[in-house]
């Protein structure tokens, strides 16, 4: 397991020195998956033959032409199509779907020298922050296999936590990168709209859902974000790569001067133990001489705006399935689609206006702070049989997504955000701190997270699943 325990940056150094090859890494992963995945069900689809063929193509190139990742294997979430690989989207509708072309993000990973070797498990169409589906079953938490790994990028998070991946991909609309990162003790970043290719899409201007990197530490996060970031002519909101790489921004980091902390953003209950763990983590900045202020923007309209815009996004993407394959869809997906199709023009107009106000207030707030810190998830991991969280700290939720407000509020205002491991509950389950950066401020966000990672004594080593 020694090579598995190394960071992605350490593995990259070994690759660049020709001390290991991409084929060696694939052999290590295949053995580790064979030993571990039967206990957690994180990587249900493997494509090692395809991966080895790609690895050999990379190895035939000069070292400086092998891309930023130079042959590091990468796991891809099963919501993203990969050419020639079973891509089910977690749905019986696509249980036999093998695409003939890759999505833009998967293309980018391979063009950057990443070797795709597995698809990670996800709930059906990413709906619901608990990774289970009718095609592959449930992915469980490696810190206690009775518990949820959250979602929708749960498979990727578990693969990282258990040493079945050095680098992994996820996506995030209402916290789908951040929630599983929090539950599994790894790092998940939702980048700014346009930072990472997200197409193809029936609505290329919809920026609620983002693709992003998942890793075990901040240095690896900067590496994978550099590899994923790319201007793509096919996507109208695509951003140019920054002039200074994210790895260099972390290496030459400057300490934040002023950060804000909020346990609840003024819109959600939070489990008291989770809130206390996150507050103590935020206070580590005070020990560094950074001013920490309890404050947050006004997110009053976040619930109504997100509910409406999420429903519209679902209808735009998969709305036709309600008529053709309704019997194959889980209740939460049907609820989203029906809600969207019931919307009137006035509802949509109101939601867009609400979002505009939220964005203005959040951007104004972030002029005074380098970072905004909150719990990444309002609860610790819950039993995997429970479809979603129905209440917290005495408050009942009306819908299956209400418990995700602390994440989707940040989604609405398009600020980059990540979940950083920051402690454990009294029962030994991980807790993540949500760290939010300035507009398009991934570099400053990663730099601040690196300072805190060091102060907290993170990151965590891969673990063997704890079966209870």
If 0-12 CB within 10 Å is exposed, 13-18 middle and 19+ buried, where does residue 14 land?
middle
62-121 pLDDT tens trace: 999 999 999 999 999 999 999 999 999 999 999 999 999 999 999 999 999 999 999 999
Q: What is the pLDDT of residue 313?
A: 96
Q: What is the pLDDT of residue 460?
A: 84
Cα atoms found within 13 Å of the Cα of residue 193, Cβ hemisphere only = 16
In sequence order, the 6+-apart residues with CB closer than 8 A to the CB of 90 are 78, 79, 121, 122, 123, 124, 125, 126, 133, 135, 136, 152
296-330 pLDDT tens trace: 999 999 999 999 999 999 999 999 999 999 999 99
User: pLDDT above 70 covers what percent of the chain?
Assistant: 100
Confidence of residue 129 (pLDDT cuts 50, 70, 90): very high
Report the pLDDT averaged over residues 123-147. Answer: 97
Q: What is the pLDDT of residue 255?
A: 96
> Phi and psi at residue 189, in whole multiples of 5°?
-120, 125
Q: Say if residue 458's pLDDT is above 90.
A: no
| Owner of token pair 């063929």 | 53
Give me 9's structure tokens: 């940056």
Confidence of residue 1 (pLDDT cuts 50, 70, 90): low
Domains in the chain (CATH in brackets) are: 2-303+345-456 (3.90.1300.10)
**Measured between alpha carbons, how far is 151 from 183 in angstroms, rounded to an integer?**
9
Confidence of residue 122 (pLDDT cuts 50, 70, 90): very high
Q: What is the pLDDT of residue 2?
A: 86
Report the pLDDT averaged over residues 370-376. Answer: 98
Report the pLDDT averaged over residues 243-267. Answer: 97
Confidence of residue 37 (pLDDT cuts 50, 70, 90): very high
If 0-12 CB within 10 Å is exposed, 13-18 middle and 19+ buried, where does residue 60 land?
exposed
User: pLDDT above 90 covers what percent of the chain?
Assistant: 99
417-432 pLDDT tens trace: 999 999 999 999 999 9
Alpha-helix runs per DSSP H in 99-232: 104-111, 154-161, 178-184, 218-228
Q: Which residues pair with 456 in a beta bridge?
A: none
Q: Say if residue 331's pLDDT is above 90.
A: yes
């Amino acid at each position: 397991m020694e090579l598995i325990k190394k960071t992605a940056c350490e593995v990259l150094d070994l690759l660049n020195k020709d001390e290991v090859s991409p084929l060696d890494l694939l052999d290590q992963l295949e053995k580790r998956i064979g030993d571990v995945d039967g206990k957690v069900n994180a990587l249900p689809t493997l494509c090692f033959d395809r991966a080895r063929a790609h690895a050999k193509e990379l190895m035939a190139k000069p070292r400086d032409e092998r891309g930023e990742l130079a042959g590091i294997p990468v796991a891809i979430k099963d919501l993203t199509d990969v050419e020639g690989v079973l891509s089910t989207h977690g749905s019986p509708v696509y249980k036999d779907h093998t695409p003939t072309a890759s999505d833009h993000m998967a293309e980018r990973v391979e063009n950057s020298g990443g070797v795709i070797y597995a698809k990670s498990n996800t709930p059906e169409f990413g709906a619901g922050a608990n990774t289970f589906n009718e095609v592959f079953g449930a992915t469980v938490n490696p810190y206690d296999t009775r518990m949820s790994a959250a979602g929708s990028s749960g498979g990727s998070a578990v693969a990282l936590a258990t040493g079945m991946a050095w680098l992994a991909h996820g996506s995030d609309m209402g916290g789908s990168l951040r929630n599983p990162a929090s539950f599994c003790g790894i790092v998940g970043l939702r980048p700014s709209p346009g930072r990472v290719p997200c197409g193809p899409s029936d609505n290329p201007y919809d920026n609620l859902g983002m693709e992003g990197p998942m890793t075990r530490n901040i240095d690896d996060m900067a590496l994978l974000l550099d590899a994923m970031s790319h201007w793509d002519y096919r996507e109208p909101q695509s951003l140019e790569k920054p002039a200074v790489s994210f790895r260099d921004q972390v290496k030459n980091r400057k300490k934040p001067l002023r950060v804000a902390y909020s346990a609840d953003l003024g819109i959600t209950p939070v489990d008291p133990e989770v809130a206390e763990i996150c507050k103590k983590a935020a206070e580590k900045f005070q020990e560094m001489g950074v001013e920490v202020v309890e404050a947050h923007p006004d997110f009053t309209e976040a619930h109504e705006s997100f509910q409406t815009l999420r429903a519209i996004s679902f209808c735009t993407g998969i709305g036709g399935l309600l008529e053709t394959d309704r019997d194959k869809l889980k209740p939460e997906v049907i609820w989203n689609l029906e809600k969207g199709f019931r919307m009137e023009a006035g509802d949509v107009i109101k939601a867009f206006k609400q979002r505009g106000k939220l964005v203005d207030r959040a951007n104004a707030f972030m002029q005074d702070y380098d970072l905004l810190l909150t719990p990444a998830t309002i609860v610790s991991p819950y039993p995997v049989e429970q479809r979603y969280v129905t209440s917290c700290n005495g408050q009942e939720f009306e819908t299956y997504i209400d418990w995700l407000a602390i994440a989707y509020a940040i989604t609405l205002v398009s600020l980059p955000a990540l979940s950083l491991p920051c402690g454990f509950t009294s029962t030994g389950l991980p807790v993540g701190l949500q760290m939010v950066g300035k507009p398009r401020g991934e570099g400053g966000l990663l730099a601040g997270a690196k300072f805190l990672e060091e102060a907290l004594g993170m990151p965590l080593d891969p673990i063997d699943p704890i079966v209870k």
